[in-house]
Homo-oligomer: A and B are copies of this chain.
């Protein structure tokens, strides 16, 4: 992609109404646009990151046997009345309103009711179980506080998975499999997530499990043991800082953290009111046992930014970077005086050459071909946007018959050969 044509420009300063680091950096970098508090548009750079994360999550959900589907946002009141959640969630945070005909509808913030109803067509017998379905679907939650950028959105893309089982034992089996998949997802996004016990909130009375990443931007506090990694959300914990870990006796610590995912054993809470039963081998009707498993994609992206950034900008892990290489042409580029023979400047020629080489090798590259920006502005943009590799073409590198390459995490670049560049970034 040529940066001169990119929709979304970097901003010198963060918008004044943002307090969260993730929102400040993502808006400054041209990844997102704020339409309202908690409601963000994804510009091309931001969507590229979101799609990287979506691909990782999709791969892991497919690998546990999940079938992808896509449910609706608009929801009829009658469906949610069956579980009592129309009234419960209507007080806050579910958006509910009347359509032009006067019918009451809501915007889904989760899909237990919907799936328990839809599954009536798929599940009749024990032979139809287990089943696992998931979606990437835009959720709506009318959050009272929405000051954490993409961490707490009023509209946000969520991966939600739902599982259907014949009994608790089979749910337990699959719950552990999803736990393994979740750990892989966060690791692939270069995040260190603790699995913390937590309350089920509106969903269940059993412990649920949250995936928590330490961060000052977090809205949760967890007590944890860094030795055995046992952890609990403060909301349910009887531990306190300095206590001996109940599992391994090491000293318990506490930390602010971001909940990047959660898994719930729902039991029969939704299947019974929705009438979702199956016949066992003897023909006896039993309620289906359910689980649900969520990851907010925008929140995950925001967490990567909170963890992987410094004062200058974002430092994307390769797995989630919008581009692998930020190629920059200096010393005037196209604007520099052409040679006597009328040819473009050597830096412009060099920049185009490397851009084409990298594209031909399948490397995702953002090419800063702008001819009205100084070296300082270009380097500042590169630090802000945060591609893992920066490659610079200048009069100096052309004289040295190479290209200057620097990792985002390094202070200084080094001039290396084209061959060496390809070895590093392919």
Q: Which residues of A approach B to under 8 Å, CB–CB? A: 1, 4-9, 11, 30, 33, 35-36, 39-44, 46-47, 50, 65, 67-76, 79, 92-93, 95, 97-101, 105, 114, 118-119, 121-122, 127, 131, 133, 138, 140, 142, 144, 154-155, 372
CB distance from A121 to the nearest CB of B (A): 6
CB distance from A110 to the nearest CB of B (A): 14
Contact check, B36 vs A105: say whether CB atoms are below 8 A apart.
yes
Residues of chain B within 8 A of A33, CB atoms compared: 118, 121
Do most interface residues of chain A lie in helix, strand or loop, or is the interface mixed? Answer: mixed
Is the beta-carbon distance between A114 and B7 smaller than 8 angstroms? no
A-B contact pairs, 12 of them (CB 8 A): A5-B131, A7-B122, A30-B121, A33-B118, A42-B70, A43-B118, A44-B68, A72-B155, A73-B155, A74-B140, A100-B142, A138-B138
What is the CB-to-nearest-CB distance from A106 to chain B, in angstroms, rounded to a whole number? 10
Distance in angstroms from A138 CB to nearest chain B CB is 6
Residue with the highest number of chain B CB atoms closer than 10 Å, among A68, A71, A99, A118: A99
The complex places the Cα of A260 from the Cα of B121 at a distance, in Å, of 31
Closest 4 A-B residue pairs measured CB to CB? A97-B97, A42-B70, A44-B67, A41-B71
Decide if A7 touches B67 in the complex (CB within 8 Å): yes
CB-nearest residue of chain B to A132: B7
Q: Is the CB of B97 within 8 A of A93?
A: no
Q: Please indicate the chain B residues that have their CB under 8 angstroms from the CB of A154 in the complex.
A: 74, 99
Q: Give chain B residues whose Cβ lies under 8 Å from the Cβ of A46.
A: 69
Is A74 in contact with B131, judged by CB distance below 8 angstroms? no
CB neighbours of A92 from chain B (8 A): 100
Contact B69 A43 (CB under 8 A): yes
CB proximity of A394 to chain B, nearest CB, Å? 23
Partner of A121, one of B4, B11, B72: B11
Contact present for A70 and B97 (CB under 8 Å): no
Chain B neighbourhood of A30, CB < 8 A: 121
Name the B residues within 8 Å of A44 (CB-CB). Answer: 67-69, 133
